[in-house]
Structure 1
Amino acid sequence: MNGPIVVAGAGSIGCFVGGLLAAAGREVRFLARPRMVAEFQAHGLTLTDLDGGDRRVPAASLSVTDDHAMLAEAGLILVTVKSSATAEMARIRRIGARLKGTRESREAEESC
């Protein structure tokens, strides 16, 4: 896979899955709303689970932005938005595909 894993939708699921990947050493970038960008930068991520697991990913190790252009650099995009935001994310993904300008991005654009 060329490029980072981008988590598009930094809510509960996106933060947990992306946080686990980042804690495991993968290159992960989060596409988030501006309010969440500020939270990431101030506090990092704390990941807990029902089995008592507790991991911390410091803010300095996180790459978080609200700039959709980051989608063009992604090797893999994990879309973790609520169902009500799926259409908006598909539109944003098409914008990212145009920025990337590859065959796969044209296919993504045609499939939406």
Structure 2
Amino acid sequence: MCRTANGWDINGFDQLKDGRGNICPVTVIMPTLAMEVKTREVEWTKDNLVDSFMDYLDVKINEAKDMLLERFEYICSQSPESAKFMWENNVMAGYIPEEGIRSALSHGTLAVG
């Protein structure tokens, strides 16, 4: 359940939770970011550590978003045979064989935690 959204599915299932879940989570470890800023492993010109941390966090969140989208595209490019049990047994709601596995994956979540 970690990082699985209970929100609204914008791709057609409304509040339906069955068959949805995290497709590919990315973790941002905040204490590590803070230590990197504090020890100046990351070069920042700002005097205020809080502002430097927030700037660095912004960079890392954008990197996480890019990672999520890249991983999602890679997973969607896989053949249904790579997870045959899931698709044949309707583990992922919304799977339409003619449309490929993206038809089901579009109902899942991409999460930064």
> TM-score, with normalisation over the residues of structure 1?
0.25
> TM-score, with normalisation over the residues of structure 2?
0.24
Task: From the two aligned structures, give the one with the greater strand fraction.
Answer: 1
For CA contacts below 8 A with separation 6 or more, give which structure has more relative contact order. 2
Task: From the two aligned structures, give the one with the greater helix fraction.
Answer: 1
Q: Which has the larger radius of gyration?
A: 2
